[in-house]
Amino acid sequence: MQPDTLPKLLKRNFERWGDSEVAFRDKDYGLWNEYTWKDVYENVKYFSLGLISLGLKPGERAAIIGDNEPQWYWASFAIQAARGITVALFTDAIPNEIQYIVDHSDSKFIIARDQEQVDKILAVHDKLPKVEKIIWWYWKGMRKYEQSFITSYEQVKELGKKYEGDHPGAFEKNIDATKGEETANIFYTSGTTGVPKGAMITHQSLIGSAESTLTLFDLTQKDNILCYLPPAWVGEAFFTTVPHLLMGARLNTLEEPETIFHDIYEITPSMILGGPRQWEGWVSKIRSKVEEAGGLEKLVYKTLMPMALKVGKAIEEGEKIPLWRHISHWFVDLILLQAIRDKLGLTKCRFAITAGSVTGTDTMVFMNSIGVRLRQVYGSTEGGMISGHKSDNILTRTIGPPLLGVEVRISGDGEILIRSPYLFSGYHKNQEAYEKTVREGWLYSGDAGLIDEQGHLVYMDRVTELAQLGSGEKYAPQWIESSLRFSQYIKDAITVGEGKEFIAAIINMDYENVGRWAEKSHLTYTTFTDLSQKTEVSKLVREDIDRVNKQLTTTTRIRKYVLLHKEFDPDEADLTRTRKLRRTAMEKRYGDVIEAMYSGKTSIPVTSEFTYEDGRKGKVSAELMIHSVE
């Protein structure tokens, strides 16, 4: 019988593999440290018993904030093994965000990686009366902290070892007592439309969603899974943590977020999940590396890549590829594409997934062309995993048919409704919001879509974010923005046009790539702000706007744009912690810029306030040029 909770899966794997199989690999100081299932089990066991000795009771919450490292996952398993509930925080959360989630969730303990995270917690500690202990796991900079409520991960483990001596077999009894219908995690929604809500997810919902996803491809204990997406995002559990426990596949954590490309090269993962921004970033990275390459390498790329792109586009559009093109593509793969996949660490990748929001067609075509078949999947915090593509059933511009056990229908106003055994069980302290979201067993997703003739689900946008021009014609802002981000020179963009005569865009340039281009073009500049307002840069970005406009109807094309003088910033409420646009907040924040674009002005002076990591405020001013597209 399949274990029905995450701790029971861990116990099963320990009993099955013990010291014979590696469960976890973590890179530190350039070296990969390996941990067997026995190592993992013992870490979880003693930390769990330590938490119990400190007073954690069944149903109580403990929060975790830190990078993807073994201790993060072990702490979560330990909380759940004590029949507690894990509350995950995004690593870059600022103090007031930490305060809200920790206080709202009634977390009793906070487990934090290092000095940086502990300092953020201490900044609001006086507003967290329910927190009894702060537990850190990375030692650097922590010696000076002598407060009685601060302790280390290792000290808690020692308490656990002592507790086991007094209560032999307690850990195993606790695991056996866990139940599938009990809450395992509270995932806080990104708050794109207001204050974050705490979605309660049971063990059986997490396991069921992951099992249904694993019907899309085979995974074994010999496979490698890359851990780099934030554990505070439910998608990380669906595609990383739970498949690891279900199938025994090895988890691999990065040395640093900045070393991702080098670490992927060493890991060669079998499965990798990325949001549209991750895949778009990788495509941009490839293209920028080509620009830096030597003459011969650049010539090979520019000669052969168009041939590969034709095949990638044919695959994306479901066209039949003639034999001669198959042969030529084999040649291109041998000379060029294998090297690209090797550099990306994707030579063994069988399941490349995109999820989270709309992925641009250009990105899909590019990945297809290099031999990485990118598949769309669809899920949500509240709905669990909903749909996805199998390798033999990938249809362009769809997000696949519903997964096993999931029912989908479309409401009269075009909203996607879901009925599934994997739904969340409620919002913490917000029954009213739950009753609005789930009605008569159907989850009202808030997403707009349709079901095509093949039974595949087609995602359009959030219902609230489908926009309508003054003429009455509707358009999908996310699709346009995703297509813009395909450019190596555009990091992010937001489009506006609701009730207006035309669509306009506020664009963030990619400072690193545009900066390299400027140096090669002998264009001098001083700061981000200075570079963003250069005429040459506006012309560079205009080329990509023209590319996107060609794919749109005449009336839904971008007609005006500005290059913003600063990056969009989660700390300033421009983006969520998963880097989704907070559209309403941004339209208000940049309201003067938007008004100027529609009033015929050619420029507008702006002053923006920003927040340093330590909470101090600063200001940056600029004269933004407004560009017209003929």
* DSSP code string of 167-186: STTHHHHHHHH--TTSEEEE
Q: How far is CA 568 from CA 15, 492, 573, 574, 575, in A?
A: 48, 8, 9, 6, 7
pTM above 0.85, yes or no: no
Do 33 and 251 meet the contact criterion of CB atoms below 8 Å apart? no
Q: Does residue 192 carry a pLDDT above 60?
A: no
Q: Using 50, 70 and 90 to split pLDDT, how confident is the model at 193?
A: low
Output the pLDDT for position 556. Answer: 87
Output the pLDDT for position 115. Answer: 95
The span from the CA of 464 to the CA of 77, in Å, is 37
Mean pLDDT of 566-584: 70
Q: Using 50, 70 and 90 to split pLDDT, how confident is the model at 590?
A: confident
Q: What tens digit of pLDDT does each residue of 514-552 get?
A: 999 999 999 999 999 999 999 999 999 999 999 888 877
Nearest to 241 by CA among 420, 232, 51, 297: 232
Output the pLDDT for position 611. Answer: 62
In the DSSP assignment, the letter for residue 471 is T
Range with the largest mean pLDDT of 195-199, 262-266, 553-557: 195-199
Q: What are φ and ψ of residue 142, in 5° steps?
A: -100, -5
CATH number of 466-628: 3.30.300.30
Percent of the chain with pLDDT over 90: 57
Mean pLDDT of 2-23: 96
Do 540 and 520 meet the contact criterion of CB atoms below 8 Å apart? no
Q: What are φ and ψ of residue 551, in 5° steps?
A: -90, 0
Output the pLDDT for position 19. Answer: 95
Do 446 and 462 meet the contact criterion of CB atoms below 8 Å apart? yes
Do 381 and 500 meet the contact criterion of CB atoms below 8 Å apart? no
Q: What are φ and ψ of residue 559, in 5° steps?
A: -110, -25
Mean pLDDT of 404-432: 93
Do 201 and 187 meet the contact criterion of CB atoms below 8 Å apart? yes
The span from the CA of 298 to the CA of 270, in Å, is 29
Could you tell me the two tokens for 530? Answer: 């200075």
The span from the CA of 489 to the CA of 541, in Å, is 7
Q: Using 50, 70 and 90 to split pLDDT, how confident is the model at 573?
A: low
Q: Using 50, 70 and 90 to split pLDDT, how confident is the model at 364?
A: confident
What does the angle CA 27 – CA 278 – CA 478 come to, to the nearest 5 degrees? 160
Output the pLDDT for position 574. Answer: 65
Do 156 and 163 meet the contact criterion of CB atoms below 8 Å apart? no
Label each residue of 312-363 as H, E or C: HHHHHCCCCCCHHHHHHHHHHHHHHHHHHHHHHCCCCCCEEEECCCCCCHHH
Taking the CB of residue 229, how many other CB atoms lie within 10 A of it? Answer: 21
Q: Does residue 612 carry a pLDDT above 80?
A: no
Q: Does residue 412 carry a pLDDT above 60?
A: yes
Output the pLDDT for position 439. Answer: 96
Q: Using 50, 70 and 90 to split pLDDT, how confident is the model at 392?
A: confident
The span from the CA of 104 to the CA of 204, in Å, is 24
Output the pLDDT for position 295. Answer: 80
Q: Using 50, 70 and 90 to split pLDDT, how confident is the model at 437?
A: very high
Q: Which residues sit opposite 508 in a β-bridge?
A: 492
Nearest to 53 by CA among 196, 173, 161: 161
DSSP 345-413: T-TT-SEEEE-SSPPPHHHHHHHHHTT--EEEEEEETTTEEEEE--TT---TT---SBPTT-EEEE-TT
- Lowest-pLDDT range, 85-94, 357-366, 571-580? 571-580
The span from the CA of 570 to the CA of 554, in Å, is 33
**Sequence letter at residue 223:** D
Mean pLDDT of 588-607: 90
Could you tell me the two tokens for 534? Answer: 């250069």
Residue with the two structure tokens 């208000």: 588
Output the pLDDT for position 620. Answer: 75
The span from the CA of 496 to the CA of 371, in Å, is 35
Q: Does residue 452 carry a pLDDT above 70?
A: yes
Output the pLDDT for position 552. Answer: 79
Output the pLDDT for position 334. Answer: 92
Output the pLDDT for position 97. Answer: 94
Question: Across the chain, what does the average pLDDT equal?
Answer: 89
The span from the CA of 184 to the CA of 310, in Å, is 46
CATH architecture of 6-178+217-274: 3-Layer(aba) Sandwich (3.40)
Mean pLDDT of 354-383: 84
Q: What tens digit of pLDDT does each residue of 135-144 get?
A: 999 998 898 8
Residue with the two structure tokens 């923006």: 608
Q: Does residue 357 carry a pLDDT above 90?
A: no
Write down the domain spans for the chain. Answer: 6-178+217-274, 466-628
Output the pLDDT for position 57. Answer: 97
Q: Using 50, 70 and 90 to split pLDDT, how confident is the model at 32?
A: very high
CA atoms within 13 A on the CB side of 15: 8
Output the pLDDT for position 465. Answer: 76
Q: What are φ and ψ of residue 274, in 5° steps?
A: -140, 145
